[in-house]
Amino acid sequence: MTGLTLTFTEADPADVDRLGGKGAGLARMTQQGLRVPPGYVIGTDACRSYLAEKAVPGGLVDEVFARLTELEAATGKAFGGGPVPLLLSVRSGAPVSMPGMMDTILNLGLDRGAAVALAEATGDARFVADLVARFHAMYAETVLDALDPGAGIDALVEAVDPGEDAGPVYDRVWAACEQALADDTGDSVPDDPRAQLVGAIEAVFRSWNTRRARTYRDHHGIPHDLGTAVVVQSMVFGNLSADSGSGVVFTRNPVTGEPGLFGEYLAHSQGEDVVAGTRTPDPVTEALAPDVLDELRTTCDDLERNHGDVLDIEFTVERSALYFLQVRSAKRTAEAAVRIAADLASEGLPLEQALRHVTPAQIRQVQRPGFDDAEVERARAGDRLLTTGIGACPGQVSGALVLDSDRAKEQADAGRPVILARPVTSPADLHGMIAAQGIVTATGGSTSHAAVVARALGTTCVVGASEIVVDESARTVRVGDRTLAEGDEVSLDGASGELFAGGFTTSTPAAATAALGELLGLAAGASGCAVLSRVTLPADVAAARDAGAAGLVTAVDDVLAATGHLDGLVASLLGDGDGIDRIADLVAQEFTPILEAAGDGEVGVRAIDLVADEARELLQQTAVTTRHPELSVPLGRPALIEAQLSGLARALADSGGRATVHLAVRHLSDPAEARALRALGEGTGIGVGAYLTSPRGALGAGAIAEAGDVVWLEVRAVQAAMFGLPARQLLTAEPLDGYLARGMLSCDPRTTVDPSVQTLLAHVADAAAAVPGCRVGLRLSGEVSQEAAGQLLGLGFRRFAVDAAETRPLVLALGRAALGV
């Protein structure tokens, strides 16, 4: 043998790259002693060679025939002969699951002699006629690209009497099939079983490169150079008798995650019939004979424990004997993934295995209401997409269109979900923005008032939808030649920036399920990390706590913007001395309810930041810093810091004084600044610290930590600084999506921690270890990828602050990273 093939018995099931998923699963089940029809695998290397050389690799055909002799010995059957003929299935199976993308041929090996022998062995000529017709159709379709198996063949098979003489039956059916094929493509199926076998194997190789397989791989990011393995396996027959059949079963419900077998069985059928949908299958738990069902159940339990995951299993029953034909990890909904992981962990599966198949992205999906993907696809295709703006705050919401904030509030108070459409928003719109499910503006970018406030509120928002014309007097919104009236249903996707006409079915979030709570508790235990959540309104606090937040972070400017004090704040900043006292009052007033809600937890408050790239428009940066240039440096106007400290101190006292509160100032980069800040905080009862945003600050983190209670490093700001990009460009899809697609950057600064930044972060991690009296952590923005979570944990960080919606995904990602998943 030239070593291109491996039998199920001798193959190493771990070698998925070579055996493909299907081959590896069959080898594993065979070696576990399950009833698997004997067979072998042609490795992916043979396929790669075939595709490169455009010819069957040397020695493969000989090896295939040698394996055939072994299969005959193993089964006691003869290929292309009697007394009991050996029929084969030739199946594709890539290293990565590509369900239904490539070809399979069943019932291969039936020449006239074999047909007669099989009829004798089974006593059923109609069964044989059925196999002949099925084989011919599958071979014609997959090897010869025929389209239509030919009308009338089914009827011809139906008309065969089981007791008929099989020779003439074979001749009749074969001739009819051949005629139909000749009419269709002018081709002919070889009647020599060995030629059929080689033709089928080549067809499976070729199926790797069909258009649909390539499209599937492009869509799922699967490399095109893996190649497929080919499984050659002896057939069992679910279409042999009434106590035969075929089915597919999941070891748990893949939609809800509920435990218990979930699947379908079709008596008197071959596997393809279940998929073809021409007959309706029955639930396995009802249709299988009790002893077969028992065996299936026991085996599924064993297999699931063995694989450490929920499985999707194809099986066939031949005369009451159960055969296993395929096993793989089951595809599942996000909701099922969460439930299953929690259940597997509580059933005693090691945590690193239970967490393997649930991802931060799935957590995001279950905790947020969302549209049905298929429905959105149809809406795009069906002309319901009105326009695409800039996604400013993610979320998928439907509601009635309203054009002003008063009406938005009225409608929302009456219990109607609304989408607020404005040319732009201003502080005067705040009540409407708080009331609305979603906000869309015609102008403005990712740092406009609408965008910043929506992010602070966590409200779905699209800005800069420049094609919409909001006509407040006519009470309409025009988009191109379409006109929507106020009250019309629309839908908004705050991630993609799309605005649709009409509503979508929206899933309700399953965030608060017990399963998710359990799972996150386990993940948090595994990582030992504290994740703090960003909140802006008192109502956010309970939600953050439910999500497992170890504390809260917030910002003075966000809180004042979200409580309607933006104009007052800007006026105070523009004014002189006494304006600042007003800020203390506002802080005292608006932070009291937040600190009340926070109870005895930690609350980190970021001081007003006039230099932030994101605050340019919101805080009228240019006007304020032109008038008071000293506000451009972190501690340029100590009175502003003192006002916030005293406001917080009052709020703390008024709220009962239980929370641990600190005020952190952005952009410190020098220990002298940190010491000056500590002096300001002295005696106020409020801790102080730094939000580091610069490489210099990161490098000096140790000395800065010495003089403070907390240090946060803002990863996005430091990434932006290292890339020399404005920080706001790291908040949106464009321009970076397009730029990355052109290959202009080797790393996406929104999702990956650049190596240059990792070096800086290492200094901060050292500071965390060296200064135990100071709480040192990372402030992360946007979605945190699993990869980034792993990198940061690896650097030694154990304390993080994120946007509220990212709390659960990050807790999970850190747990997975800690367990090496």
Q: What is the contact surface with ligand ADP in residues (CB under 6 A)?
A: 37, 89, 91, 100, 104, 106, 233, 235-236, 246, 270-272, 314, 316, 325-326
Query: CB-wise, 89 or 437, nearer to Mg ion?
Result: 89
Distance between CA atoms of residues 43 and 92, nearest Å: 11
DSSP strands (E only) in 693-758: 710-714
104 binds, among Mg ion, ligand ADP, none (CB under 5 to 8 A by kind): ligand ADP
Name the residue with the smallest CB distance to ligand ADP.
Answer: 271
Pick between residue 316 and residue 669 the one whose CB is nearest to ligand ADP: 316
H or E segment at 440?
A: strand 438-441
- For 578, the token pair is 């006494």
Q: Which tokens belong to 718?
A: 């430091």
Q: Does 316 bind Mg ion (CB under 5 A)?
A: no
Q: Which is nearer to Mg ion, 248 or 454 (CB)?
A: 248
Contact partner at residue 233 from ligand ADP, Mg ion, none, CB < 5 to 8 Å by partner kind: ligand ADP
Beta strands (DSSP E) in 612-715 are 660-666, 687-692, 710-714
CB of 316 to ligand ADP, least distance (A): 5
The widest CA-to-CA distance across the chain, in whole angstroms, is 109
Residue 634 has what DSSP assignment?
A: T
Which one of ligand ADP, Mg ion, none is in contact with 44 (Cβ closer than 5 to 8 A by kind)? none
Q: What's the distance, Cα to Cα, between the start and end of the chain in Å?
A: 39
3-state secondary structure (DSSP) of residue 1 = coil
Radius of gyration of the chain (CA): 33
Which of these ranges, 313-321, 399-407, 425-433, 728-736, lies near Mg ion under the rule CB under 5 A? Answer: 313-321
- Burial (CB count within 10 angstroms: exposed 0-12, middle 13-18, buried 19+), residue 327: buried
How is 102-144 classified by DSSP, letter by letter?
S-EEEEE---HHHHHHHHHHHT-HHHHHHHHHHHHHHHHHHTT
Of 309-317, 403-411, 743-751, 800-808, the segment contacting Mg ion by CB under 5 A is 309-317
Paired tokens of 254: 């893949």
- Cα–Cα distance, 605 to 292 (Å, whole number): 63
Residue 460 binds which one of ligand ADP, Mg ion, none, with CB within 5 to 8 A depending on kind?
Answer: none
**238 or 579: CB nearest ligand ADP:** 238
Residue 100 contact, options ligand ADP, Mg ion, none, Cβ 5-8 Å cut-off depending on partner type: ligand ADP
Cβ neighbourhood burial of 389 (10 Å; 0-12, 13-18, 19+): buried
CB of 142 to ligand ADP, least distance (A): 11
Contact partners, residue 200, CB within 8 Å, separation at least 6: 90, 105, 108, 139, 142, 143
Q: Choose among ligand ADP, Mg ion, none what residue 702 binds, the Cβ cut-off being 5 to 8 Å by kind.
A: none
Which is closer to Mg ion, CB of 326 or CB of 719? 326
672 neighbors 744 (Cβ within 8 angstroms): no
**DSSP assignment of 245-270, as one string?**
EEEEEEEE-TTT--EEEEEEEEES--
Instruction: Give the binding range for Mg ion (CB under 5 A) out of 324-332, 343-351, 676-684, 797-805.
Output: 324-332
Binding segment for Mg ion (CB under 5 A), chosen from 46-54, 311-319, 433-441, 500-508, is 311-319
Please identify, using beta-carbon distances, which residue of 142 and 491 lies nearer to ligand ADP: 142
User: Could you say which of Mg ion, ligand ADP, none residue 714 binds, taking C-beta under 5 to 8 angstroms by partner kind?
Assistant: none
By rule CB under 5 A, what count of residues binds Mg ion? 2
If the CB atoms of residues 5 and 326 are measured against Mg ion, the closer one turns out to be 326
Among 246, 326, 396, 533, binds Mg ion (CB under 5 A): 326
Shortest distance, position 26 Cβ to Mg ion, whole Å: 11
Shortest CB 107 distance to ligand ADP, Å: 9
Task: Dump strand ranges (E) for 556-620.
Answer: 602-606
Cβ distance to ligand ADP smaller for residue 37 or 647? 37
Residue 89 binding result from ligand ADP, Mg ion, none, given CB thresholds of 5 to 8 Å by partner type:
ligand ADP
Q: Which is nearer to ligand ADP, 102 or 688 (CB)?
A: 102
Distances (CA, A) of 207 to 139, 211, 496: 13, 9, 34
Angle (CA) 644-454-729 rounded to 5° is: 90
> Which of the listed partners (ligand ADP, Mg ion, none) does 610 bind, with a CB threshold of 5 to 8 Å by partner kind?
none
Q: How far is the CB of 272 from ligand ADP (least distance, A)?
A: 6
660 C-beta neighbours (distance < 10 Å), count: 17
Q: C-beta of 162: minimal distance to ligand ADP in Å?
A: 21
Bond into 99 cis (ω within 30)? no
Taking each helix axis from N to C terminus, what angle separates 577-598 and 566-574, rounded to the nearest 10 degrees? 140
Q: How far apart are CA 309 and CA 256, in angstroms?
A: 15
Q: How many CB atoms lie within 10 A of CB 154?
A: 12
Stretch that binds Mg ion, among 163-171, 318-326, 445-453, 743-751 (CB under 5 A): 318-326
Write down the least CB distance from residue 236 to ligand ADP, Å: 4
Q: Work out what residue 395 binds among Mg ion, ligand ADP, none; the CB cut-off runs from 5 to 8 Å by kind.
A: none
Query: Could you say which of ligand ADP, Mg ion, none residue 533 binds, taking C-beta under 5 to 8 angstroms by partner kind?
Result: none
**Short-list 224, 264, 198, CA closest to 98:** 224
- Positive or negative: CA dihedral 190, 194, 199, 203: positive
Task: Give me the least distance between CB of 191 and ligand ADP, in Å please.
Answer: 21
Separation of alpha carbons 160 and 168, rounded Å: 11
Which residues between 518 and 547 bind Mg ion (CB under 5 A)? none
- How far CA 529 is from CA of 54, 455, 524, 526, 789, in Å, comes to 54, 25, 6, 8, 11
Residues 783/802, Cβ–Cβ less than 8 Å:
no
Token pair of 390 as six digits: 């800039």
Q: How far is the CB of 273 from ligand ADP (least distance, A)?
A: 9
Q: Which is nearer to ligand ADP, 103 or 609 (CB)?
A: 103
Nearer to ligand ADP among residue 149 and residue 815 (C-beta):
149
Of 202 and 314, which CB lies nearer to Mg ion in the complex structure? 314
φ, ψ for residue 568 (rounded to 5)? -60, -40
Q: Decide whether 271 or 391 has the Cβ nearer to ligand ADP.
A: 271
Count of other CB atoms within 10 angstroms of residue 286: 8
Q: Which does 91 bind (CB under 5 to 8 A by kind): Mg ion, ligand ADP, none?
A: ligand ADP
Q: In this chain, which stretch among 28-36, 286-294, 322-330, 578-586 interacts with Mg ion, using CB under 5 A?
A: 322-330
CA–CA gap between residue 555 and residue 557 (Å, rounded): 6
Q: Which residue number, 280 or 473, has a Cβ lying nearer to ligand ADP?
A: 280
Nearer to Mg ion, 26 or 817 (CB): 26
CB of 525 to ligand ADP, least distance (A): 39
Q: CA torsion 668→716→819→251, rounded to 10°?
A: 150
User: What is the nearest approach in angstroms of ligand ADP to the Cβ of residue 67?
Assistant: 15
Nearer CB in complex with Mg ion: 326/693: 326
How many Cβ atoms from other residues are within 10 Å of residue 314's Cβ?
Answer: 20
What six digits make up the tokens of 689? 């610290």
Residue that has been written with the tokens 């240059």 in this structure: 756
Minimum separation from the CB atom of position 250 to ligand ADP (A): 14
Of 26 and 434, which has the nearer Cβ to ligand ADP? Answer: 26
Smallest distance, Å, CB 104 to ligand ADP? 4
* CB of 500 closer than 8 Å to CB of 419: no
Output the smallest distance, CB 355 to ligand ADP, in A.
28
Cβ 21 to Mg ion shortest distance, Å? 10
Contact between 92 and Mg ion per CB under 5 A: no
Shortest-Cβ-distance residue relative to Mg ion: 326
Which residues bind to Mg ion, rule: CB under 5 A? 314, 326
